[in-house]
């Protein structure tokens, strides 16, 4: 059963999708909601609205500017932010390891970043994971269903890119603001590498903790996420988790 707060976020997402389609016009193929608001596990004030728009042609500059304004001003319905990616139907239908990206607008209320904008990115190696998640758990709020416009992404590409981030984060474990994000994403990378299925941050974290109860950073991240706790996540615990996932994923065939 959908609660009132989740219903408010869904309504905001539906309005956002309609506005995206209005701005792009006839070139809109699909506007897909994915992430926790689509697959379950949405938490008001903790989760984002994740959206992928698939369009037939490249965005014109006025359209890109209008989409950026839309994300900046949109009602979040209780979500903590909005993450919108725009890709062409060619990219969606024939993904590569580093496909081109028309537009990304990320709004992260309450963070030090606040709003992030990327426009006409020639090679976006993190995009295949976004396409894969949208295909796996997304649902169309406007236009064609995800599997009609999104081709499968090889799982090895996602695991390889995940390991890149694990190695990068190995030198960033003192970043307290992003500690929980690193922990949850490491857990998701780990479980995806072994099972080839996308899971929510909470599901992946509980799985990781069941697999290795000594991972204190995972326990702390779960407490921070579920109880809106301000407790710190132990830096050495993050190091231990990253090293564990790097070791575990090297054994994946």
Q: What percent of the chain has pLDDT over 90?
A: 81
| Secondary structure E strands in the chain | 28-34, 48-55, 81-88, 101-108, 114-121, 139-143
Extract long-range pairs of 134-137: CB within 8 Å, 24+ residues apart.
134/32, 134/34, 134/50, 134/52, 136/34, 136/197, 136/198, 137/34, 137/35, 137/38, 137/39, 137/198
Judge whether 233 and 179 are in contact, CB under 8 Å.
yes
Rounded to whole angstroms, how far apart are CA atoms 120 and 100? 7
d(CA 159, CA 194): 10
**Burial environment of residue 112 by CB neighbours within 10 A (0 to 12, 13 to 18, 19 or more):** exposed
pLDDT of 196 higher than 90: yes
pLDDT at 1 over 50: no
Conformation bin of residue 77: beta by default, left when phi > 0, alpha when psi is -120 to 50: left
* Paired residues of 140 in beta bridges: 32
Q: Cα–Cα distance between 104 and 126 in angstroms, integer?
A: 12
The distance from CA 219 to its chain's CA centroid, rounded to whole angstroms, is 21
Query: Each residue of 115-168: pLDDT tens digit?
Result: 999 999 999 999 999 999 999 999 999 999 999 999 999 999 999 999 999 999
pTM: 0.92
Q: What ranges do the domains of the chain cover?
A: 4-149, 155-249
- Give the separation between CA 185 and CA 177, rounded to whole angstroms: 14
CATH class for the domain made up of 4-149: alpha beta
Q: Which residues contact 73 (CB under 8 A, 6 or more apart)?
A: none
Q: Does residue 228 contact residue 215 with C-beta atoms inside 8 Å? A: no
Predicted confidence (pLDDT) per residue in 90-114, tens digit: 999 999 999 999 999 999 987 778 8
Structure tokens at 238: 């993050």
Q: Which residues of 227-239 are buried (b: 16+ CB within 10 A; e: fewer)?
A: eeeeeebbeebbe
As a whole number of angstroms, the distance between CA 207 and CA 148 comes to 31
Q: Which one of 28-32, 45-49, 174-178 scores highest in mean pLDDT?
A: 28-32
């Amino acid at each position: 059963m959908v609660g009132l707060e989740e219903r408010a976020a869904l309504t905001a997402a539906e309005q956002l999708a309609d506005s995206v389609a209005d701005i792009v016009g006839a070139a809109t193929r699909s506007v897909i909601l994915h992430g926790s608001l689509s697959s379950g596990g949405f938490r008001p004030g903790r989760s984002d609205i994740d959206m992928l728009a698939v369009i037939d042609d490249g965005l014109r500059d006025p359209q890109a500017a209008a989409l950026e304004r839309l994300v900046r001003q949109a009602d979040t319905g209780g979500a903590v932010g909005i993450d919108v990616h725009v890709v062409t139907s060619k990219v969606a239908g024939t993904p590569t390891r580093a496909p081109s990206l028309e537009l990304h607008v990320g709004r992260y209320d309450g963070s030090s970043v606040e709003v992030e904008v990327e426009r006409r990115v020639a090679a976006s190696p993190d995009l295949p994971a976004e396409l894969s998640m949208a295909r796996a758990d997304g649902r169309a709020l406007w236009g064609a269903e995800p599997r009609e416009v999104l081709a499968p992404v090889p799982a090895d590409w996602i695991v390889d890119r995940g390991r890149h981030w694990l190695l990068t984060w190995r030198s960033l474990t003192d970043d307290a603001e992003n500690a929980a994000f690193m922990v949850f994403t490491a857990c998701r990378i780990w479980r995806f590498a072994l099972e080839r299925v996308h899971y929510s941050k909470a599901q992946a974290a509980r799985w990781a903790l069941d697999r290795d109860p000594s991972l204190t950073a995972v326990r702390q991240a779960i407490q921070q996420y579920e109880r809106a706790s301000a407790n710190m996540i132990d830096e050495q615990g993050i190091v231990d988790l990253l090293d564990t996932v790097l070791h575990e994923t090297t054994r994946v065939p």
